[in-house]
Chain A
Amino acid sequence: MSTTTSSGVAKDRAPAGTPKVKQGRGVRGRTLNFWLFTGPFLIGLAVFVYIPIGWSAYLSFFEARYTVTPSTFVGFDNFTYMLTNEKFTDSLVTFTVFAAFIVPVTWAFSLGLAMMVNRLRFMRAFFRSVFFLPTAVSFVAASLIWKMSIFSGVRFGLANTVLGWFGVENIAWLANPNPPWYWLVIVTVRLWLQAGFYMILFLAALQNIPPELYEAAAIDGAKPGWQTFWYITLPQLRATSTAVILLLLVAAYQAFDEFFNLLAKTTWGRPPLVELYYTALGENQDYGAGSAGAMILTVLICCVTLLQGKFMGFGKGEQAK
């Protein structure tokens, strides 16, 4: 290793008998390797992420209808329009409701699955795979299955068929916002798709908890079950839980596919990305206002993430150990 570090230091530290190498070329070669492997990704990141973000920020100060080329400078008009746009502000409320529900439910559900699979004495790999497999299904495909097969409003939809056995009338799961059954459809599809992935994270964390801790707790008189879970397991999962909650929050902010596919042409149940999609595409083709909304949303996500990190102590899990 020392042969490929900075030449002067390497020479001094090289043990006797170390083969002579071309130091300068080593550095250059290493640099070349670095750019060779990271270059394409950096270029991709710049072209597909940073330049569009920059362009979007620039566009947000201009009138840009039916074009992504700025035409007239309008200052903060697009921001004012989006912040006073009831549909956009409603979408932020929709997100808050959605996140407030889906984050803790997915957290609890995936943790429960992980604990269940972890305790299995046989067929553990089978069940792990079964619960993880939905992760490979696309949100669009799952949404269509949920919409057309399970929660179709007609009598031969799966949910309505089952309810029919108990004499319950057909329910229009997605067409009617009163009562808001559409949340059940959205939450179940996301839970089915996501819980397996977070289960794997929790499973890994559970298997990292030293068994001595449980033995010591047992010696100290801790009862197996709820007491052990509360005082041993849960604190040991703090780092993973924090990461899972962060990932779930970000995923909730990015919610689009299931809302878009399940709730077409509604004015309710639109999270911010769906609202921005309708602002920039389809309806208005108003790329200036859409960009302003995207900027507002970006700032909001950054603030929430920082706050969440501060309150939950992201990265402090290791210290706690």
Chain B
Amino acid sequence: MSALSNSNWDRRSVLRAAAGLAALGPLAACGGNTGREGGGSSGKNLTQYFHAYGEAGTEQAIKKYAAAYDGARVTTQWITGTNFESKLFSALLTKNAPDVFEFHPQIQMIKSGQVADLSDIMEPVKDDFNPADIASHTIDGKIWGVRMIDDPQFFYYRKSMLEKAGVEPPTTLDELVEAAAKLTTSKVKGVFLGNSITPVMNPLIWSTGANTLTDKNEIAYHTDEVAAGLKKLRTMFKSGHLLLDAPADWWDPSAITQGLVAIQWCGMWAMPVIQKALGDDVGIIPFPTSAEGGKPAVTNGGWSMFVNAKSKNVDLAKEYVKWLWIDQKKYQEDWSLSYGFHIPPRTSLAESATKLKSGLPAEGVKLFNEFGHFDNPAWTQAMIVALENVVADTVRKGGNPEAALDKADKIVNRELKKLFG
């Protein structure tokens, strides 16, 4: 008790200590790279969010581009882990929200005022972008994001393994189920669709001839053919011919490069790594036709740059996005082709990219153009998860597809009603 007596801690001492701490505050702030105003030499600061790309050198590349911009000091948050969406969404609610971030075009972000209109920077160059990308970023006549890369997703297969098992590259879902059985050995599984199997939900829908939503934004995925396709995936799951619980998920090519599986669903970004590991012993095919009247499907994913509409520096952020993803064509080319393989959304760049003109990359571009399905901005995060739950409930848990689709309908209709009334 005596140690705490007021002889040691009188009012003056406390005030002196407080004043000292207050004086130290600005000094501490001088050394911090917070990415916010006041911290940089130029006084202009921007923060950008990126999810962690798997390809080596990407983080350094994006930071190199940012450092080359002399209009502001740009701080990059390179977000690792699998929940980039959650981190981004929660950050957007705070004052520390990024000024610029990558994501996919989704209408709820526009309706809730989270992203800024980028029509003014896109209009002069929009004719040089893939028209499907422009369409997927255009809502109410305005363009809301700048596509950075297009990422087709398809099946990679080991030619030698298929030959040895006497299997032709499957062209229907039934053939894929049969191939998985013939390709499975004591050490190698037939097919890898991702640990959650959700990456192939949309391709399954498209390959039956259905779609996620109609042009009028009504449910289009709930068909008998989709339900039948889910049952076929369940057959494959139960048979033990699918690779499950792989240490790295579908976006990483290690399952096929390490010889764990003969056929893997993955993206074009992994092509350089796969070719390096397997040489010519690799081919690609789209998701096979799943019903009569359907046709093969490829997911044309990708990432786009958006400007936070609530940023204090909206104009500066737009300038930066224009500088990096519209004016600096050399960086776009570098970003698309120097690490993994992506298709540049700028038509002029895609046409001049020699790396995509022959061999497997050229086949990837062909599948992208022939069978690709682009982002539908009305297909939002909540709807994506609703169908992911359908896969979990039916393919992995063995539930009734009809019941699972009914459950998803309720969620999707609730979302549609909130978005479109």
Contact = CB atoms under 8 A, between A and B. Distances in A.
Interface stretch (B6-14, B21-29, B172-180, B223-231): B6-14
A281 B90 contact: yes
Contacts of A172: 244-245
Contacts of A86: 407
Contacts of A285: 89, 108, 381
B357 to A, nearest CB: 37
Interface in B1-46: 1, 4-6, 9-11, 14
B245 A178 contact: no
Main secondary structure of the interface of A (DSSP, over half): loop
Nearest to B11: A32
A277 B90 CA distance: 11
Interface in A142-194: 148, 151-155, 157, 169, 172-178
A277 to B, nearest CB: 8
A36 interface: yes
Contact of A282 (B10, B83, B247, B396): B83
Contacts of A148: 247
A172 B192 CA distance: 13
Interface in B235-249: 237, 240, 243-247
B89 A282 contact: yes
A67 B93 contact: yes
A66 B6 contact: no
A308 interface: no
Contacts of B195: 174-175, 264-265
Nearest to A181: B245
A281 B247 contact: no
A227 interface: no
Interface stretch (A21-29, A106-114, A238-246, A313-321): A21-29
B9 A33 contact: yes
Interface string B95-108: 00000000000001
A80 interface: no
A124 interface: no
Interface in A256-275: 264-268
A284 B11 CA distance: 51
**Which size bracket describes the interface of A in this complex?**
35 or more
A4 interface: yes
B245 A152 contact: yes
B187 A281 contact: no
Nearest to B195: A175
Interface string B248-275: 0000000000001000000000000000
Contact of B6 (A32, A67, A68, A169): A32
A223 interface: no
Contact of B382 (A33, A67, A266, A283): A283
Interface of B: 1, 4-6, 9-11, 14, 82-83, 85-86, 89-90, 93, 108-109, 112, 114, 187, 195-196, 198, 237, 240, 243-247, 260, 381-382, 385, 388-389, 392-393, 396-398, 407, 418
Given A175-B396, A282-B381, A265 B198 contact: yes
Given A30-B6, A178-B398, A285-B381, 19 more contacts: A4-B5, A26-B6, A29-B6, A29-B10, A32-B6, A152-B247, A153-B244, A155-B187, A157-B245, A169-B240, A174-B245, A175-B195, A175-B245, A176-B237, A177-B396, A265-B195, A265-B388, A281-B89, A285-B108
Contacts, number: 106
Contact of A152 (B1, B240, B246, B385): B246
A284 B382 contact: yes
Contacts of B393: 267
B397 A267 contact: yes
A1 interface: yes
Nearest to B94: A68
A28 B396 CA distance: 67
Contacts of B89: 66, 281-282, 285
A69 to B, nearest CB: 9
Contact of B14 (A32, A268, A284): A32
Contacts of A169: 240
A11 interface: no
25 contacts: A4-B1, A28-B6, A30-B4, A30-B6, A32-B6, A32-B9, A32-B11, A33-B6, A66-B89, A66-B109, A68-B93, A153-B243, A153-B244, A154-B246, A154-B260, A157-B247, A169-B240, A175-B396, A176-B396, A264-B82, A264-B195, A267-B389, A268-B397, A282-B89, A282-B381
A148 B187 CA distance: 18
A254 B393 CA distance: 25
A173 B245 contact: yes
A137 B179 CA distance: 44
